[in-house]
């Protein structure tokens, strides 16, 4: 089974090919390929699968998805700040 997880784009490096960025998944920051989303901006949310951002998602949907993942036990509560606690 495959799982795509929502995350918030914290930084984008367009000086490299492919375009890469730092994405926060409930407080855990990872480097992600953003090449497939040329119009993505810092502060927006993306769905990521195996290190590739596949689509943009709105903040409310991202928060709801993270909440459902926590309820299912796929995302621990102690993994960091959730998007709803970030400013």
The CATH number, out of the four listed (3.40.50.1450, 3.30.479.10, 2.30.30.140, 3.30.1300.10), of the domain defined by the range 5-85: 2.30.30.140
Could you tell me if residue 28 is left (phi over 0), alpha (psi between -120 and 50 degrees) or otherwise beta? beta
User: With contact defined as beta carbons under 8 Å apart, do 3 and 74 qualify?
Assistant: yes
- pLDDT tens per residue, range 39-74: 999 999 999 999 999 999 999 999 898 888 888 875
| 23: pLDDT strictly greater than 80 | yes
pTM of structure: 0.78
Return the pLDDT at 87: 40
């Amino acid at each position: 089974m495959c799982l795509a997880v929502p995350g918030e784009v914290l930084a984008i490096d367009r000086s490299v090919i492919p375009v890469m960025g730092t994405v926060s998944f409930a407080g855990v920051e990872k480097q992600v390929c953003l090449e497939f989303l040329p119009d993505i901006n810092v502060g927006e949310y993306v769905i990521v699968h195996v290190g590739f951002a596949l689509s943009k998602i709105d903040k409310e949907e991202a928060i709801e998805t993270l909440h459902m993942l926590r309820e299912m036990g796929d995302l621990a509560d102690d993994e960091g700040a959730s998007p709803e606690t970030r400013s």
